[in-house]
Amino acid sequence: MSAHERERVVATLPGEVTDAEMSPPEGERHFQAKVRALDALRGYFTRQRRKVYLAAELPVYSPAAKRFAPELLAVLDVEPHERDKWVVSAEGKGLDFVLEVHVGGDRKKDAEQNVERYARRGIPEYFIYDRGRQRAELERRGKPPR
């Protein structure tokens, strides 16, 4: 496939997830925790003078894997312009960090299923922010930090 053909394909990929791919709505406490976490990450990377792309609920396409949309994601050392989706092959880089917010219910999706999903995709850092306990927990590290 030529570079032009590849660009055309990437442009046609949906920039949203379907209802079947999304978790059910989790309420205001969940939403506010995501907003505060995103603000905290922006502040941290700004203070570090580190170029980073941050997003929430952004569809991610990676080779040979099903599309997914983590609650919060970070990719280091890329231009932080607005995007409708993250296509690993087009961007030339995968995600560096994912954070999921847990408010209530069964933690199995976040603590087991997502650990496996993100490890398969080579995402080096995955955290769960437990809203009830007011703390973030590192769930696994897929590869050494850069």
Spatial separation of the C-alpha atoms in residues 78 and 13, rounded to whole Å: 21
Q: 124 pLDDT exceeds 90?
A: yes
3-class SS shares of the chain: helix, strand, coil, % to 5:
35, 25, 45
Average pLDDT over the chain, rounded to an integer: 83
Q: Which two tokens stand for residue 43?
A: 């502040």
Phi, psi of 29 (to 5 degrees): -60, -40
Spatial separation of the C-alpha atoms in residues 46 and 50, rounded to whole Å: 6
Q: What digits encode the pLDDT tens for the residues 12-32? A: 676 665 655 555 567 888 889
Q: What is the pLDDT of residue 141?
A: 47
Please give the model's pTM, rounded to 2 decimal places.
0.76
Report which of residues 145 and 110 the model is more confident about. Answer: 110
Q: Which two tokens stand for residue 102?
A: 């847990």
pLDDT-derived band at 3, boundaries 50, 70, 90: confident
Report which of residues 5 and 68 the model is more confident about. Answer: 68
Q: What digits encode the pLDDT tens for the residues 29-81? A: 888 989 999 999 999 999 999 999 999 999 999 988 889 999 999 999 999 99
Domains recognised in the chain with CATH numbers: 33-140 (3.90.1570.10)
